[in-house]
Structure 1
Amino acid sequence: MLRLEETLIAQGDFQMRADFTLEAGRRYAVIGPSGAGKSTLLAALCGFVPLSAGRMLWQGADITDADPGARPMTMLFQDNNLFPHLTVLQNVGLGLRPDLGMNAQERQRVEEALMRVDLSRFAETKPGNLSGGQQSRVALARVLVQARPLVLLDEPFAALGPALRNEMLDLVQDMVGQTKAALVMVTHAPEDVRRIADEVIFVEGGHAHAPRPAAALMDDPPPELRAYLG
Protein backbone atom coordinates (compact mmCIF):
# COMPACT_ATOMS: atom_id res chain seq x y z
CA MET A 1 0.00 0.00 0.00
CA LEU A 2 1.32 3.44 -1.00
CA ARG A 3 0.01 6.41 0.94
CA LEU A 4 0.30 10.08 -0.04
CA GLU A 5 -0.31 12.00 3.17
CA GLU A 6 -1.24 15.68 2.72
CA THR A 7 1.40 16.07 0.02
CA LEU A 8 2.24 19.18 -1.98
CA ILE A 9 4.07 18.95 -5.30
CA ALA A 10 5.48 22.31 -6.39
CA GLN A 11 7.54 23.33 -9.43
CA GLY A 12 7.91 27.06 -10.02
CA ASP A 13 4.39 28.53 -10.14
CA PHE A 14 2.80 25.09 -10.40
CA GLN A 15 1.33 23.46 -7.29
CA MET A 16 -0.68 20.30 -6.82
CA ARG A 17 -1.97 18.61 -3.69
CA ALA A 18 -2.61 14.90 -3.26
CA ASP A 19 -3.89 12.89 -0.31
CA PHE A 20 -4.86 9.30 -1.12
CA THR A 21 -3.90 5.63 -0.95
CA LEU A 22 -2.98 3.20 -3.73
CA GLU A 23 -3.77 -0.44 -3.01
CA ALA A 24 -1.83 -3.48 -4.19
CA GLY A 25 -3.14 -5.19 -7.30
CA ARG A 26 -5.44 -2.32 -8.32
CA ARG A 27 -5.35 -0.57 -11.71
CA TYR A 28 -5.57 3.22 -11.66
CA ALA A 29 -6.07 5.57 -14.61
CA VAL A 30 -4.80 9.14 -14.17
CA ILE A 31 -6.78 11.55 -16.33
CA GLY A 32 -7.23 15.31 -16.61
CA PRO A 33 -6.59 18.34 -18.82
CA SER A 34 -3.22 18.95 -20.44
CA GLY A 35 -0.93 20.75 -18.03
CA ALA A 36 -2.88 19.67 -14.97
CA GLY A 37 0.07 17.72 -13.58
CA LYS A 38 -0.56 14.07 -14.46
CA SER A 39 3.03 13.32 -15.49
CA THR A 40 4.31 15.41 -12.58
CA LEU A 41 2.32 13.26 -10.18
CA LEU A 42 3.99 10.10 -11.51
CA ALA A 43 7.40 11.76 -11.39
CA ALA A 44 6.80 12.66 -7.73
CA LEU A 45 5.76 9.10 -6.92
CA CYS A 46 9.02 7.86 -8.46
CA GLY A 47 11.13 10.45 -6.66
CA PHE A 48 12.17 12.44 -9.72
CA VAL A 49 10.27 15.45 -8.34
CA PRO A 50 10.60 16.08 -4.57
CA LEU A 51 7.60 16.70 -2.35
CA SER A 52 7.37 20.23 -0.97
CA ALA A 53 5.16 19.13 1.93
CA GLY A 54 3.60 15.99 3.33
CA ARG A 55 4.81 12.39 3.40
CA MET A 56 4.87 9.33 1.18
CA LEU A 57 4.54 6.00 2.97
CA TRP A 58 5.07 2.50 1.61
CA GLN A 59 3.69 -0.26 3.82
CA GLY A 60 3.84 2.26 6.67
CA ALA A 61 7.52 3.18 6.12
CA ASP A 62 8.39 6.76 5.19
CA ILE A 63 9.95 6.89 1.69
CA THR A 64 9.48 10.65 1.15
CA ASP A 65 13.20 11.24 0.66
CA ALA A 66 14.14 7.84 -0.78
CA ASP A 67 16.15 7.76 -4.01
CA PRO A 68 14.20 6.69 -7.13
CA GLY A 69 16.04 3.37 -7.31
CA ALA A 70 15.15 2.57 -3.69
CA ARG A 71 11.40 2.99 -4.25
CA PRO A 72 8.99 0.09 -4.84
CA MET A 73 8.05 1.19 -8.35
CA THR A 74 9.17 1.34 -11.93
CA MET A 75 8.07 3.77 -14.64
CA LEU A 76 7.50 3.45 -18.37
CA PHE A 77 7.89 6.80 -20.14
CA GLN A 78 6.24 8.18 -23.27
CA ASP A 79 9.36 7.68 -25.40
CA ASN A 80 10.14 4.18 -24.01
CA ASN A 81 13.62 5.47 -23.04
CA LEU A 82 15.54 2.85 -25.03
CA PHE A 83 19.25 3.22 -25.76
CA PRO A 84 19.88 2.95 -29.53
CA HIS A 85 23.46 1.63 -29.20
CA LEU A 86 22.40 -1.32 -27.00
CA THR A 87 20.71 -4.53 -28.08
CA VAL A 88 17.19 -5.44 -27.02
CA LEU A 89 18.59 -7.85 -24.43
CA GLN A 90 20.90 -5.19 -23.03
CA ASN A 91 18.12 -2.59 -22.88
CA VAL A 92 15.99 -4.98 -20.86
CA GLY A 93 18.98 -5.98 -18.74
CA LEU A 94 19.38 -2.38 -17.60
CA GLY A 95 16.31 -2.97 -15.46
CA LEU A 96 18.38 -5.37 -13.36
CA ARG A 97 21.93 -4.13 -13.71
CA PRO A 98 22.69 -0.56 -14.83
CA ASP A 99 26.29 -1.68 -15.47
CA LEU A 100 24.99 -4.62 -17.59
CA GLY A 101 27.19 -7.00 -15.61
CA MET A 102 24.50 -9.68 -15.52
CA ASN A 103 25.18 -13.11 -14.09
CA ALA A 104 23.66 -16.25 -15.61
CA GLN A 105 20.55 -16.08 -13.42
CA GLU A 106 19.90 -12.44 -14.29
CA ARG A 107 20.37 -13.10 -17.98
CA GLN A 108 17.84 -15.91 -17.72
CA ARG A 109 15.33 -13.51 -16.14
CA VAL A 110 15.83 -11.12 -19.06
CA GLU A 111 15.39 -13.90 -21.60
CA GLU A 112 12.18 -15.03 -19.86
CA ALA A 113 10.84 -11.45 -19.93
CA LEU A 114 11.58 -11.23 -23.67
CA MET A 115 9.79 -14.52 -24.18
CA ARG A 116 6.71 -13.20 -22.38
CA VAL A 117 6.52 -10.18 -24.71
CA ASP A 118 7.27 -12.35 -27.77
CA LEU A 119 10.63 -10.76 -28.60
CA SER A 120 13.08 -13.62 -28.00
CA ARG A 121 14.15 -13.67 -31.64
CA PHE A 122 15.10 -9.97 -31.45
CA ALA A 123 17.39 -10.27 -28.41
CA GLU A 124 20.50 -9.14 -30.34
CA THR A 125 18.68 -6.51 -32.44
CA LYS A 126 19.10 -2.75 -31.92
CA PRO A 127 15.92 -0.73 -31.14
CA GLY A 128 16.22 1.28 -34.36
CA ASN A 129 15.50 -1.87 -36.35
CA LEU A 130 12.22 -2.54 -34.53
CA SER A 131 8.71 -1.25 -35.14
CA GLY A 132 7.07 1.15 -32.69
CA GLY A 133 5.04 -1.66 -31.17
CA GLN A 134 8.11 -3.84 -30.75
CA GLN A 135 9.99 -0.99 -29.07
CA SER A 136 7.08 -0.64 -26.62
CA ARG A 137 7.37 -4.35 -25.89
CA VAL A 138 11.08 -3.96 -25.12
CA ALA A 139 10.28 -1.20 -22.63
CA LEU A 140 7.56 -3.36 -21.09
CA ALA A 141 9.99 -6.26 -20.74
CA ARG A 142 12.36 -3.98 -18.83
CA VAL A 143 9.52 -3.08 -16.47
CA LEU A 144 8.55 -6.73 -16.16
CA VAL A 145 12.03 -7.95 -15.27
CA GLN A 146 12.23 -5.52 -12.33
CA ALA A 147 9.15 -7.09 -10.67
CA ARG A 148 8.31 -4.01 -8.60
CA PRO A 149 5.02 -3.76 -6.64
CA LEU A 150 3.94 -0.62 -8.54
CA VAL A 151 4.12 -0.05 -12.29
CA LEU A 152 3.69 3.53 -13.55
CA LEU A 153 2.91 4.25 -17.21
CA ASP A 154 3.11 7.78 -18.60
CA GLU A 155 1.16 7.45 -21.86
CA PRO A 156 3.72 5.08 -23.40
CA PHE A 157 1.34 3.94 -26.15
CA ALA A 158 -0.04 7.33 -27.20
CA ALA A 159 1.77 7.26 -30.56
CA LEU A 160 0.46 3.81 -31.49
CA GLY A 161 -2.64 3.13 -33.57
CA PRO A 162 -5.83 2.00 -31.78
CA ALA A 163 -5.44 -1.72 -32.51
CA LEU A 164 -1.80 -1.85 -31.43
CA ARG A 165 -2.49 0.33 -28.38
CA ASN A 166 -5.24 -2.06 -27.28
CA GLU A 167 -2.86 -4.98 -27.79
CA MET A 168 -0.28 -3.30 -25.56
CA LEU A 169 -2.90 -2.49 -22.91
CA ASP A 170 -3.94 -6.14 -22.85
CA LEU A 171 -0.31 -7.14 -22.45
CA VAL A 172 0.10 -4.70 -19.55
CA GLN A 173 -3.00 -6.12 -17.87
CA ASP A 174 -1.65 -9.66 -18.22
CA MET A 175 1.70 -8.54 -16.84
CA VAL A 176 0.36 -6.84 -13.71
CA GLY A 177 -2.14 -9.65 -13.22
CA GLN A 178 0.68 -12.18 -13.04
CA THR A 179 2.86 -10.10 -10.71
CA LYS A 180 -0.03 -8.66 -8.60
CA ALA A 181 1.49 -5.21 -9.07
CA ALA A 182 -0.55 -2.03 -8.80
CA LEU A 183 -0.79 -0.16 -12.10
CA VAL A 184 -0.95 3.64 -12.38
CA MET A 185 -1.43 4.82 -15.96
CA VAL A 186 -1.68 8.35 -17.35
CA THR A 187 -3.99 8.49 -20.37
CA HIS A 188 -6.00 10.99 -22.40
CA ALA A 189 -8.27 8.32 -23.88
CA PRO A 190 -11.57 7.57 -22.09
CA GLU A 191 -11.73 4.22 -23.89
CA ASP A 192 -8.43 3.23 -22.23
CA VAL A 193 -9.96 4.02 -18.84
CA ARG A 194 -12.90 1.74 -19.49
CA ARG A 195 -10.61 -0.97 -20.84
CA ILE A 196 -8.05 -1.17 -18.08
CA ALA A 197 -8.91 0.81 -14.92
CA ASP A 198 -10.50 -0.23 -11.64
CA GLU A 199 -10.31 3.32 -10.35
CA VAL A 200 -9.68 6.84 -11.66
CA ILE A 201 -7.48 9.60 -10.26
CA PHE A 202 -8.79 12.85 -11.74
CA VAL A 203 -6.19 15.65 -11.81
CA GLU A 204 -7.37 19.23 -12.22
CA GLY A 205 -7.33 22.62 -10.50
CA GLY A 206 -4.24 21.92 -8.45
CA HIS A 207 -5.51 18.65 -7.02
CA ALA A 208 -4.95 14.98 -7.71
CA HIS A 209 -8.26 13.71 -6.41
CA ALA A 210 -8.56 10.47 -4.47
CA PRO A 211 -9.28 7.40 -6.62
CA ARG A 212 -12.91 6.68 -7.44
CA PRO A 213 -14.46 3.58 -9.08
CA ALA A 214 -13.86 3.89 -12.82
CA ALA A 215 -17.15 2.55 -14.22
CA ALA A 216 -19.38 4.67 -12.00
CA LEU A 217 -17.26 7.78 -12.51
CA MET A 218 -17.20 7.48 -16.30
CA ASP A 219 -20.93 6.69 -16.50
CA ASP A 220 -21.91 9.63 -14.29
CA PRO A 221 -18.99 12.10 -14.16
CA PRO A 222 -19.05 15.19 -11.92
CA PRO A 223 -19.29 18.54 -13.75
CA GLU A 224 -15.53 19.19 -13.87
CA LEU A 225 -14.83 15.73 -15.31
CA ARG A 226 -17.75 16.01 -17.71
CA ALA A 227 -16.28 19.29 -19.01
CA TYR A 228 -12.91 17.61 -19.56
CA LEU A 229 -14.43 14.62 -21.35
CA GLY A 230 -16.42 16.98 -23.59
Structure 2
Amino acid sequence: MTNTQTNRMPQEPMMLEEVKIRLAGDCLIHLSLSVAAGEVVTIMGPSGSGKSTLLAYIGGFLPPAFEGEGRVWLDGKDVSSLSAERRHIGILFQDPLLFPHLSVGGNLAFGLTRAVKGRAARKASVCEALEAINMAGFEGRDPETLSGGQKARVALARTLLSQPRALLLDEPFSKLDADLRVRMRHHVFERARSEGLPTLLVTHDEEDARAAQGRIIRLAPNGMVG
Protein backbone atom coordinates (compact mmCIF):
# COMPACT_ATOMS: atom_id res chain seq x y z
CA MET A 1 0.00 0.00 0.00
CA THR A 2 1.40 3.42 -0.92
CA ASN A 3 1.71 6.33 1.47
CA THR A 4 -1.14 8.13 -0.27
CA GLN A 5 -3.44 5.20 0.41
CA THR A 6 -2.59 4.72 4.10
CA ASN A 7 -5.52 4.92 6.53
CA ARG A 8 -7.99 5.49 3.72
CA MET A 9 -10.42 2.64 4.36
CA PRO A 10 -13.57 3.91 6.09
CA GLN A 11 -15.17 1.38 8.42
CA GLU A 12 -18.63 2.94 8.39
CA PRO A 13 -21.03 3.48 5.49
CA MET A 14 -22.16 6.85 4.21
CA MET A 15 -25.78 7.22 5.27
CA LEU A 16 -28.46 9.66 4.18
CA GLU A 17 -31.22 9.93 6.75
CA GLU A 18 -34.54 11.43 5.62
CA VAL A 19 -32.88 13.87 3.24
CA LYS A 20 -35.38 16.33 1.78
CA ILE A 21 -34.58 19.10 -0.69
CA ARG A 22 -37.11 21.74 -1.68
CA LEU A 23 -37.22 24.50 -4.25
CA ALA A 24 -39.84 27.23 -3.87
CA GLY A 25 -41.76 24.96 -1.52
CA ASP A 26 -41.81 21.98 -3.88
CA CYS A 27 -40.06 18.79 -2.75
CA LEU A 28 -37.41 17.72 -5.26
CA ILE A 29 -35.81 14.92 -3.25
CA HIS A 30 -36.92 12.71 -0.38
CA LEU A 31 -34.46 9.89 0.19
CA SER A 32 -32.86 7.69 2.82
CA LEU A 33 -29.89 5.58 1.76
CA SER A 34 -26.87 3.69 3.08
CA VAL A 35 -23.74 3.25 0.92
CA ALA A 36 -21.11 0.82 2.22
CA ALA A 37 -17.36 1.41 2.09
CA GLY A 38 -16.20 0.58 -1.43
CA GLU A 39 -19.75 0.37 -2.79
CA VAL A 40 -20.83 2.35 -5.87
CA VAL A 41 -24.52 3.27 -5.91
CA THR A 42 -25.95 4.86 -9.06
CA ILE A 43 -28.72 7.45 -9.02
CA MET A 44 -30.60 7.91 -12.28
CA GLY A 45 -33.52 10.11 -13.24
CA PRO A 46 -34.74 12.68 -15.75
CA SER A 47 -33.42 16.23 -15.88
CA GLY A 48 -34.90 18.28 -13.07
CA SER A 49 -35.39 15.31 -10.72
CA GLY A 50 -32.73 16.67 -8.37
CA LYS A 51 -29.82 14.26 -8.89
CA SER A 52 -27.03 16.85 -8.92
CA THR A 53 -28.79 18.89 -6.25
CA LEU A 54 -28.66 15.84 -3.98
CA LEU A 55 -24.89 15.63 -4.45
CA ALA A 56 -24.61 19.34 -3.65
CA TYR A 57 -26.49 18.79 -0.38
CA ILE A 58 -24.30 15.84 0.58
CA GLY A 59 -21.15 17.76 -0.27
CA GLY A 60 -22.19 20.83 1.68
CA PHE A 61 -22.53 23.30 -1.20
CA LEU A 62 -26.29 23.39 -1.78
CA PRO A 63 -27.16 26.65 -3.60
CA PRO A 64 -29.09 29.12 -1.41
CA ALA A 65 -32.17 28.90 -3.66
CA PHE A 66 -32.77 25.39 -2.29
CA GLU A 67 -33.82 24.29 1.20
CA GLY A 68 -32.37 21.06 2.54
CA GLU A 69 -32.91 18.97 5.64
CA GLY A 70 -31.92 15.52 6.84
CA ARG A 71 -28.70 14.02 8.09
CA VAL A 72 -25.55 12.96 6.25
CA TRP A 73 -23.45 10.43 8.19
CA LEU A 74 -19.80 9.65 7.42
CA ASP A 75 -17.64 7.30 9.48
CA GLY A 76 -20.37 7.23 12.11
CA LYS A 77 -20.50 11.03 12.46
CA ASP A 78 -23.26 13.45 11.48
CA VAL A 79 -21.59 15.96 9.11
CA SER A 80 -24.80 17.73 8.05
CA SER A 81 -23.94 20.98 9.83
CA LEU A 82 -20.30 21.10 8.70
CA SER A 83 -18.95 23.30 5.92
CA ALA A 84 -17.99 21.64 2.64
CA GLU A 85 -14.25 21.64 3.37
CA ARG A 86 -14.75 20.00 6.78
CA ARG A 87 -16.81 17.13 5.37
CA HIS A 88 -13.86 15.72 3.40
CA ILE A 89 -16.03 14.48 0.54
CA GLY A 90 -14.46 14.22 -2.90
CA ILE A 91 -16.41 15.11 -6.01
CA LEU A 92 -15.79 14.72 -9.75
CA PHE A 93 -17.80 16.77 -12.24
CA GLN A 94 -18.29 16.57 -16.02
CA ASP A 95 -15.31 18.90 -16.48
CA PRO A 96 -11.93 18.13 -14.83
CA LEU A 97 -11.68 21.71 -13.45
CA LEU A 98 -7.88 21.70 -13.32
CA PHE A 99 -6.22 24.98 -12.33
CA PRO A 100 -4.78 26.48 -15.54
CA HIS A 101 -2.16 28.53 -13.68
CA LEU A 102 -0.66 25.42 -12.05
CA SER A 103 1.33 22.58 -13.57
CA VAL A 104 0.03 19.01 -13.38
CA GLY A 105 2.21 18.50 -10.31
CA GLY A 106 0.92 21.75 -8.81
CA ASN A 107 -2.67 20.64 -9.33
CA LEU A 108 -1.97 17.38 -7.54
CA ALA A 109 -0.06 19.07 -4.72
CA PHE A 110 -3.08 21.32 -4.17
CA GLY A 111 -5.09 18.23 -3.23
CA LEU A 112 -2.64 17.02 -0.59
CA THR A 113 -3.74 17.18 3.03
CA ARG A 114 -1.76 19.00 5.71
CA ALA A 115 -0.76 15.62 7.09
CA VAL A 116 1.76 15.32 4.25
CA LYS A 117 4.53 17.59 5.54
CA GLY A 118 7.77 18.69 3.91
CA ARG A 119 8.70 19.30 0.29
CA ALA A 120 10.21 15.84 -0.21
CA ALA A 121 7.18 14.01 1.16
CA ARG A 122 4.76 16.11 -0.89
CA LYS A 123 6.80 15.56 -4.05
CA ALA A 124 6.88 11.80 -3.38
CA SER A 125 3.10 11.74 -2.94
CA VAL A 126 2.60 13.56 -6.25
CA CYS A 127 4.94 11.14 -8.02
CA GLU A 128 3.10 8.13 -6.54
CA ALA A 129 -0.22 9.56 -7.69
CA LEU A 130 1.06 10.07 -11.24
CA GLU A 131 2.46 6.54 -11.36
CA ALA A 132 -0.92 5.19 -10.22
CA ILE A 133 -2.63 6.80 -13.24
CA ASN A 134 0.17 5.85 -15.70
CA MET A 135 1.36 9.45 -16.06
CA ALA A 136 4.78 9.30 -14.41
CA GLY A 137 6.97 12.25 -15.39
CA PHE A 138 4.06 14.62 -16.11
CA GLU A 139 4.71 16.84 -13.07
CA GLY A 140 5.85 19.85 -15.06
CA ARG A 141 3.27 19.65 -17.85
CA ASP A 142 0.78 22.43 -18.50
CA PRO A 143 -2.76 21.01 -18.03
CA GLU A 144 -3.75 22.52 -21.38
CA THR A 145 -1.33 20.17 -23.16
CA LEU A 146 -3.12 17.07 -21.81
CA SER A 147 -5.70 14.99 -23.61
CA GLY A 148 -9.24 14.77 -22.25
CA GLY A 149 -8.54 11.40 -20.69
CA GLN A 150 -5.33 12.59 -19.07
CA LYS A 151 -7.13 15.59 -17.58
CA ALA A 152 -9.82 13.30 -16.19
CA ARG A 153 -7.22 11.04 -14.60
CA VAL A 154 -5.40 13.99 -13.02
CA ALA A 155 -8.69 15.30 -11.62
CA LEU A 156 -9.39 11.89 -10.07
CA ALA A 157 -5.87 11.64 -8.63
CA ARG A 158 -6.16 15.13 -7.11
CA THR A 159 -9.44 14.18 -5.49
CA LEU A 160 -7.99 10.99 -4.00
CA LEU A 161 -4.92 12.82 -2.68
CA SER A 162 -7.25 14.88 -0.49
CA GLN A 163 -8.08 11.61 1.32
CA PRO A 164 -11.86 11.93 1.03
CA ARG A 165 -14.19 9.91 3.22
CA ALA A 166 -16.68 9.47 0.36
CA LEU A 167 -16.80 10.10 -3.37
CA LEU A 168 -19.50 11.84 -5.42
CA LEU A 169 -19.53 11.45 -9.20
CA ASP A 170 -21.63 13.98 -11.13
CA GLU A 171 -21.69 12.56 -14.70
CA PRO A 172 -17.87 12.56 -14.87
CA PHE A 173 -17.75 10.49 -18.08
CA SER A 174 -20.33 12.36 -20.15
CA LYS A 175 -17.87 14.44 -22.20
CA LEU A 176 -15.47 11.60 -23.04
CA ASP A 177 -15.52 9.65 -26.28
CA ALA A 178 -16.85 6.08 -26.23
CA ASP A 179 -13.52 4.26 -25.91
CA LEU A 180 -12.22 6.61 -23.24
CA ARG A 181 -15.48 6.36 -21.29
CA VAL A 182 -14.99 2.60 -20.97
CA ARG A 183 -11.44 2.98 -19.67
CA MET A 184 -12.25 5.83 -17.29
CA ARG A 185 -15.27 4.03 -15.86
CA HIS A 186 -13.09 1.03 -15.05
CA HIS A 187 -10.35 3.22 -13.56
CA VAL A 188 -12.65 5.34 -11.39
CA PHE A 189 -14.76 2.47 -10.08
CA GLU A 190 -11.74 0.29 -9.35
CA ARG A 191 -10.06 3.12 -7.43
CA ALA A 192 -13.23 3.81 -5.46
CA ARG A 193 -13.42 0.16 -4.44
CA SER A 194 -9.71 -0.21 -3.67
CA GLU A 195 -9.76 2.99 -1.59
CA GLY A 196 -12.84 1.77 0.28
CA LEU A 197 -14.85 4.88 -0.56
CA PRO A 198 -18.65 4.95 -0.31
CA THR A 199 -19.50 6.31 -3.77
CA LEU A 200 -22.58 7.89 -5.33
CA LEU A 201 -22.74 8.16 -9.12
CA VAL A 202 -25.25 10.45 -10.84
CA THR A 203 -25.74 9.69 -14.54
CA HIS A 204 -28.20 9.56 -17.43
CA ASP A 205 -26.21 6.75 -19.09
CA GLU A 206 -27.34 3.15 -18.59
CA GLU A 207 -23.84 1.94 -19.54
CA ASP A 208 -22.37 3.99 -16.68
CA ALA A 209 -24.83 2.35 -14.30
CA ARG A 210 -24.06 -1.17 -15.52
CA ALA A 211 -20.30 -0.56 -15.32
CA ALA A 212 -20.64 0.56 -11.70
CA GLN A 213 -21.88 -2.97 -10.85
CA GLY A 214 -23.89 -1.74 -7.88
CA ARG A 215 -27.39 -0.80 -6.88
CA ILE A 216 -29.34 1.56 -9.13
CA ILE A 217 -31.82 4.03 -7.64
CA ARG A 218 -34.21 5.56 -10.16
CA LEU A 219 -35.78 8.88 -9.34
CA ALA A 220 -39.19 9.90 -10.66
CA PRO A 221 -39.59 13.41 -12.12
CA ASN A 222 -40.51 14.70 -8.64
CA GLY A 223 -37.31 13.30 -7.13
CA MET A 224 -39.02 10.46 -5.29
CA VAL A 225 -37.79 6.92 -5.74
CA GLY A 226 -39.57 5.42 -8.74
| Runs of 5+ unmatched residues, structure 2 | 1-12
Which residue in the other structure is 2:30 paired with? 17
Give structure 1 stretches of 5+ with no counterpart: 210-223, 225-230
Q: Compute the TM-score of the two structures, normalised by the length of structure 1.
A: 0.82
Alpha carbons of structure 1 residues 103 and 39: separation in structure 2 relative to 1, 3 Å: same
For 1:107 and 1:194, the matched residues in 2 are separated by 37
Matched, 1:4 2:20: no
Over the matched positions of the two proteins, sequence identity in percent amounts to 36
Matched residue type, 1:47: G
**Structure 1 residue matching 2:137: 3-state secondary structure:** helix
Q: Per-residue CA shift, 1:153-188, capped at 9, x if unaligned?
A: 111121111110010011112212321112211111
- Determine which of 123, 143, 146 is the counterpart of 1:107: 123
Give 1:171's aligned amino acid.
H
Conservation of the 8 A alpha-carbon contact between 2:57 and 2:68 = no
Per-residue CA distance 1:27-77 (angstroms, 9 max, x = gap) = 111111112111111111100117632222223322111111111420011
State how far apart, in whole Å, the 2-side matches of 1:94 and 1:208 are.
38
Q: Secondary structure at the match of 2:101?
A: coil
Match of 1:153 among 162, 165, 169: 169
Following superposition, the deviation at residue 203 of structure 1 comes to 2.2
Aligned counterpart, 2:40: 27
CA distance in 1 between counterparts of 2:29 and 2:55 reads 12
Q: CA deviation at 1:113?
A: 0.8
Counterpart in 2 of 1:58? 74
Which of the two has greater helix per residue? 1
Q: How many positions carry a matched residue from both structures?
A: 209
CA RMSD of aligned residues (A): 2.2
8 Å CA contact 2:14, 2:72 repeated in 1: yes
